[in-house]
Chain A
Amino acid sequence: EDQVTQSPEALRLQEGESSSLNCSYTVSGLRGLFWYRQDPGKGPEFLFTLYSAGEEKEKERLKATLTKKESFLHITAPKPEDSATYLCAVQAPGNTGKLIFGQGTTLQVKP
Chain B
Amino acid sequence: DTAVSQTPKYLVTQMGNDKSIKCEQNLGHDTMYWYKQDSKKFLKIMFSYNNKELIINETVPNRFSPKSPDKAHLNLHINSLELGDSAVYFCASSPDWGTGAYNEQFFGPGTRLTVL
Residues of chain A lying within 8 A (CB to CB) of residue B92: 43
Interface status of A101 (Cβ within 8 A of chain B) = yes
Interface status of B99 (Cβ within 8 A of chain A) = yes
Which residue on A lies nearest to B42, using beta carbons?
A: A103
- Please give the number of chain B residues whose Cβ is less than 8 angstroms from any Cβ of chain A in the complex: 30
Residues of chain B lying within 8 A (CB to CB) of residue A31: 98, 103
Residues of chain A lying within 8 A (CB to CB) of residue B12: none
Interface status of A34 (Cβ within 8 A of chain B) = yes
Q: Name the contact of B56 in the complex, choosing from A43, A45, A98 (C-beta under 8 A).
A: A98
Q: Name the contact of A49 in the complex, choosing from B40, B48, B104, B109 (C-beta under 8 A).
A: B104
Residues of chain B lying within 8 A (CB to CB) of residue A43: 4, 90, 92, 107-110
Query: Which residues on A are within 8 Å of B, measured CB to CB?
Result: 31-32, 34, 36, 38, 41-46, 49, 51, 85, 87, 89, 91, 94-101, 103-104
